[in-house]
Structures are given as C-alpha cells and as structure tokens.
C-alpha cells in the first residue's frame, strides 16, 4: 500500500506518528508531503523514508492519504483527495464548520 502523509512536521506527527510510520515501511510505502523541500529532505532522511515531495498532486494516485495538517486546512485537502477517489484519514476535528463536514460526507 502507498500512503501519502500531509502535515508530517506538526508537533504530534513528528513525535507520535512518524516514528510509527517509519516502523511500518516494511509493509507500506510512504510519501511525505512538505511545503518546503529542505524540510522534506531533513525529515525524510531522519526517519529513513524513501519518498518526500513538495507537490500535492503527487499524492493523487496513492492508496490512502493521512492528513495531519492544521484543522483549517482539513476541508480543502480532504475534498481534493476524496474527489480524486483516494480514501482519507485525518486528525480530529474534521473541520471547524459543520457545512464542510456534510460536504465531505457526500464524497465518501
């Protein structure tokens, strides 16, 4: 399974999730998304991931996208990947607005 991870530099992601994802690499391939390439390379090398990108479109063909970004970004990111047919897992809350949650439900 190929898994895209967005927001991998958040405090929780870097301390709790990335170490777990790193241990899962024998069974799954991960692509980490970062806004800045230097940061991408630093984290990728630290956890020994094969792939990192600063291009969100690179995640449109993965088997799953995990979103650890700020809540304010959840809706747009989830909508993008759900619309492309990619399953999405994200931190809570799904959104700050109930209308956005309902719209995302339509894409599930």
Please tell me the predicted confidence (pLDDT) of residue 35.
84
Position 15 pLDDT exceeds 90: no
Give tens-digit pLDDT for 52-65: 898 999 999 999 99
Give the pLDDT of residue 101: 93
- pLDDT at residue 6, as a whole number: 93
How far does the chain reach from its first CA to its final CA, in angstroms?
20
Q: How many whole angstroms from its chain centre is CA 67? A: 4
Tell me how many domains the chain contains: 1
* Tokens read off for 22: 């790193």
**Residues 79-93: pLDDT tens digits?**
999 999 999 999 889
User: pTM to 2 decimals?
Assistant: 0.90
Domain housing 34? 2-107
Residues 6+ apart with CB under 8 A from 68: 5, 6, 7, 8, 10, 12, 13, 17, 90, 91
Confidence at 9, pLDDT banded by 50, 70, 90: confident
* Count of alpha carbons within 13 angstroms of residue 26, beta-carbon side: 2
CATH no. for residue 53? 3.40.50.720
């Amino acid at each position: 399974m190929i898994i895209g991870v967005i927001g991998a530099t958040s405090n929780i992601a870097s301390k709790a999730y990335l170490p777990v994802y790193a241990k899962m690499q024998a069974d799954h391939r991960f692509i980490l998304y970062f806004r800045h390439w230097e940061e991408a390379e630093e984290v990728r090398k630290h956890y020994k991931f094969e792939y990192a990108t600063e291009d969100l479109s690179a995640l449109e063909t993965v088997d799953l996208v995990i979103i650890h970004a700020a809540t304010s970004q959840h809706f747009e990111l989830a909508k993008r990947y759900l619309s492309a047919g990619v399953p999405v897992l994200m931190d809570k809350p799904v959104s700050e607005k109930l209308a956005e949650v309902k719209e995302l439900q339509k894409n599930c």
